[in-house]
Amino acid sequence: MKKIAKIRFNTNYPIGKKWRMIIDEVEYFYDEIIIKCESYTSTDNVLVGDKFEQKYHISCAFTDMKSINTENNLFIAVLS
């Protein structure tokens, strides 16, 4: 079954990881994300505090996700 990943830049960077990935309303953080499936742009209205803000994403429908830790401490997601 395919899941939808919504990816956007982490505005708190350089504190933490560079990329924020949202899957089923759960946030994951990565240094790099490799997308090996069809992708598209999307926009959501997200409640931030007491008001809604538009958030822009690169989104994709994936069936498999792998997380890789590299020797130089990079945390990478691979979506296919």
Domain count, the chain: 1
If pLDDT is split at 50, 70 and 90, which confidence band does 16 have? confident
d(CA 38, CA 31): 21
In which domain, by residue range, is 56 found?
Answer: 3-79
For residue 73, report the phi and psi dihedrals to the nearest 5 degrees. 65, 30
- The one-character DSSP state at 66 is E
pTM: 0.89
Per-residue CA distances from 19 to 6, 10, 30, 32, 77 (Å):
10, 5, 5, 7, 10
Q: What is the pLDDT of residues 29-57, one digit of tens each?
A: 999 999 999 999 999 999 999 999 999 99
Instruction: Output the furthest CA–CA distance in the chain (Å, rounded).
Output: 42
